[in-house]
Chain A
Amino acid sequence: MAENKNNYAVHVRGVSKTFGAGTTAVTALKSVNFDAREGELLMIVGPSGCGKTTLLSTIAGTLQFDAGEIDVFGSALQKMSKSQTTAFRRQNIGFIFQEFHLIPTLSAVENVSVPMLINGASRAAAEKKAHALLAQVGLEGRGHELPTSLSGGQQQRVAIARALVHEPRLIICDEPTSALDKENGARTMELLRQVARAPGRCVVVVTHDNRIFKYADRMTEMEDGRIARVHEIKDGQSPEFIPN
């Protein structure tokens, strides 16, 4: 991985993305400039269809962009081949999805161990680490259970453990609390804030959920494929000015 000289976890410049072609073409990102810093929890907010998820997909390296530059911890995604991008994601990015995407036939500990297994770790080492992570997210002793026997909040905690097990530097979260009640949403965000505080880490969250805005260090507001505003959030501030 290249040296990260400027303390940016994610550095996006002039990124555009258009889906389709001709009369059916939809431009989801219009020359987007955007940064996320190490040690912060950054939220991307905005109305549906404004390009939040597309932006998240491009910085996660799961979606190719048409123009611009994206550096993640000093590595330029636009210069990477498809297989290099896959390897980069494998080692450096943890994912938390809106619908958890836990594999229903695997136990919690097996689900958590998947990223380490993808990275080539042994089954024993991966499961040992997975047990430790499950304990950290408050699911000690529940590792053998299938996702279907866990509540929504517990499933999201398993997903968080999965996102952290291989010690990635960038955690990408897509609507992490939309399927959770207030209490579980708060617990999830507390966990993510702790994760973001770890040295050399960054958490980027896309959300509509205004209940969790207070957990952000900064907020990036998107409108119509562009970054409209960036808000610094001070502790205790309730950013009611942000639209749902």
Chain B
Amino acid sequence: MYHIALKMLLGNRSKYIVLVSGITFSTLLMTQQCAIFCGLMLWTTGSIQNMRAKIWVTDPKVEQVNEVRQLRDTDVGRVRSVEGTAWAVPLFWGLQQAKLADGTFKQIQLVGLESATLVGRPYDVVAGRIEDVRLPNAVVIDELAIIRLSAGRAKPIGLGDTFEINDREARVVGICRTAKSFFGMPYIFTTYDQALQFAPKTRKMLSFILAEPAEGWTAEETARSIERATGLRAYTENDFFWATIRWYFRNTGIPMSFGITILLGFAVGVAVSGQTFYTFVLENLRHLGALKAMGASDGLLARMLILQALTVGFIGYGLGIGLTSLFGSLVLKKGEPPFMLPYQVPLGALAVVLFICIFAALLGIRQIRKLEPAIVFRG
């Protein structure tokens, strides 16, 4: 009887298209918005991804990576002396102004790496050498900087070109790829000492300390050891990542606004597909009554409806995920808007679509259970 159920569904072309479209649109809306939200959240942790440090030591009040509260220079030494720490290096991290060739200004994210080890260096240098960043006034810029800092130039900024950071000349010695930052500012890498020269002087200049656990220590153990010994806050890379995500959840309206759109997708799915399927069942009620009169049990008819609902669900879901993936492949080439589709998103959407289908089928099953087979004898 299941092929009969499918033919009853597929034969009613207009209803079938509306049903599949409803699920497709619902899936697209839910997964695409979730993917943009995940991508945006990933951008908030772009700095953590770029640095790839196992332990981040911060001021005790710092809650997330985009929040900088300077430490004392001597804190580096204190962290190095903690049991379980293999090494620790200072990191400068600050928003600065770059003056462009046409006289305008752009904000940049200046990153000062410890010059001996260059810990936190960009991992994908596409032009030049990262080691050259040790040269006087040398900087390595990311690909976004080429777009942002090229205003007023005959050709895009490249190796050997100069620009100003806080009235101090910076020379480009390398170009790299980085994970995008939440605020959309280009990364400019230099050494820690040179960063202190580029940045305006303040009483404390050290932003973070990056550390590595000693052999035989886990990052968690070393972080707790640093916290006990120094009173500073020590995050593992993973903890810092999630602390940052949680901070944005708590302190911004981003999850709420995306959540509303995702709920809207769910509502569209329930309303359009649920209602259309229910109408489809109502329209077929006399045929279903005839089947019931001929001896089809409520169970058989319920299974037929579930099969119809799931068929619509899986086809609509597949099309929706396909469209989301297409959208993703297009935007990832451009770099924005943010997009990340972790496997949990399609799985979650599948669960929601299944819920919508089962809900729609249950509405129909309720009608079938109430249906008197004698209906077929009434004119």
Residues on A lying within 8 angstroms of B by beta carbon are: 53, 56-57, 60, 62-63, 83, 86-91, 93, 95, 97-99, 101, 103-106, 110, 114-115, 117-119, 123, 174
Q: Does B12 make an interface contact (CB < 8 A)? A: yes
Q: What residues of A have a CB within 8 angstroms of the CB of B289 in the complex?
A: 101
Q: What residues of A have a CB within 8 angstroms of the CB of B297 in the complex?
A: 83, 86-87
Q: What residues of A have a CB within 8 angstroms of the CB of B1 in the complex?
A: 114, 117-118
Closest beta carbon of chain A to B229's beta carbon, Å: 75
- Among A57, A89, A90, A104, contact of B377 (Cβ-Cβ < 8 Å): A57
Residues on B lying within 8 angstroms of A by beta carbon are: 1, 3-4, 7-8, 10-12, 286-287, 289-297, 300, 372-374, 376-379
A57 contacts B374, C-beta separation under 8 Å: yes
Closest beta carbon of chain A to B67's beta carbon, Å: 62
A118 contacts B296, C-beta separation under 8 Å: yes
A105 contacts B11, C-beta separation under 8 Å: yes
Q: A83 to B295, alpha carbons, bound, how many Å?
A: 9
**Given A103-B8, A105-B12, A106-B4, does the pair A56, B294 have CB atoms closer than 8 Å?**
no
- Among A101, A103, A115, contact of B295 (Cβ-Cβ < 8 Å): A115
Closest beta carbon of chain A to B266's beta carbon, Å: 30
Q: A132 to B7, alpha carbons, bound, how many Å?
A: 22
The 3 closest A-B pairs by CB, nearest first: A105-B11, A90-B295, A101-B290
A95 contacts B7, C-beta separation under 8 Å: no
Interface of B is mostly: helix
Name the residue on B nearest A83 (C-beta): B297
B294 contacts A114, C-beta separation under 8 Å: yes
- Among A89, A117, A119, contact of B293 (Cβ-Cβ < 8 Å): A89
- Among B8, B292, B372, B377, contact of A106 (Cβ-Cβ < 8 Å): B8
Name the residue on A nearest B375 (C-beta): A62
**Given A86-B295, A91-B295, does the pair A110, B372 have CB atoms closer than 8 Å?**
no
Q: A182 to B372, alpha carbons, bound, how many Å?
A: 32
B378 contacts A53, C-beta separation under 8 Å: yes
Name the residue on A nearest B300 (C-beta): A118
Q: What residues of A have a CB within 8 angstroms of the CB of B373 in the complex?
A: 62-63, 89
**Given A56-B377, A97-B290, does the pair A105, B295 have CB atoms closer than 8 Å?**
no
**Given A53-B378, A62-B377, A98-B379, does the pair A106, B296 have CB atoms closer than 8 Å?**
no
Closest beta carbon of chain B to A53's beta carbon, Å: 5
Q: What residues of B have a CB within 8 angstroms of the CB of A56 in the complex?
A: 377
Closest beta carbon of chain A to B292's beta carbon, Å: 8
12 intermolecular pairs with C-beta atoms under 8 Å apart: A56-B377, A62-B373, A83-B297, A87-B295, A89-B295, A90-B295, A95-B294, A97-B290, A98-B377, A105-B8, A114-B1, A118-B1
A97 contacts B376, C-beta separation under 8 Å: yes
Closest beta carbon of chain A to B308's beta carbon, Å: 12
Closest beta carbon of chain B to A100's beta carbon, Å: 9
Q: What residues of B have a CB within 8 angstroms of the CB of A105 in the complex?
A: 7-8, 10-12
Q: A60 to B375, alpha carbons, bound, how many Å?
A: 12
Q: What residues of A have a CB within 8 angstroms of the CB of B287 in the complex?
A: 101, 103
Q: What residues of A have a CB within 8 angstroms of the CB of B11 in the complex?
A: 104-106
- Among B12, B286, B376, contact of A62 (Cβ-Cβ < 8 Å): B376
**Given A106-B7, A106-B11, does the pair A114, B377 have CB atoms closer than 8 Å?**
no
Closest beta carbon of chain B to A169's beta carbon, Å: 14
Q: What residues of B have a CB within 8 angstroms of the CB of A95 in the complex?
A: 290, 293-294, 376
**Given A106-B11, A110-B7, A114-B4, does the pair A62, B290 have CB atoms closer than 8 Å?**
no
Q: A62 to B295, alpha carbons, bound, how many Å?
A: 9
Q: What residues of A have a CB within 8 angstroms of the CB of B4 in the complex?
A: 103, 106, 110, 114, 117
Q: What residues of B have a CB within 8 angstroms of the CB of A123 in the complex?
A: 3
Q: What residues of B have a CB within 8 angstroms of the CB of A87 in the complex?
A: 295, 297
Q: Which of B293, B295, B373 has the most CB of A within 10 A?
A: B295
Q: What residues of A have a CB within 8 angstroms of the CB of B12 in the complex?
A: 105
A62 contacts B374, C-beta separation under 8 Å: yes
A114 contacts B291, C-beta separation under 8 Å: yes
Name the residue on A nearest B294 (C-beta): A115
A97 contacts B10, C-beta separation under 8 Å: no
A63 contacts B7, C-beta separation under 8 Å: no
Name the residue on A nearest B299 (C-beta): A83
Q: A56 to B374, alpha carbons, bound, how many Å?
A: 9
Name the residue on B nearest A52 (C-beta): B377
Q: A53 to B375, alpha carbons, bound, how many Å?
A: 11
- Among A63, A90, A98, contact of B294 (Cβ-Cβ < 8 Å): A90
Q: A105 to B16, alpha carbons, bound, how many Å?
A: 12
Q: A107 to B287, alpha carbons, bound, how many Å?
A: 14
Q: What residues of B have a CB within 8 angstroms of the CB of A104 in the complex?
A: 11
Closest beta carbon of chain B to A182's beta carbon, Å: 21
A62 contacts B372, C-beta separation under 8 Å: yes
B377 contacts A53, C-beta separation under 8 Å: yes
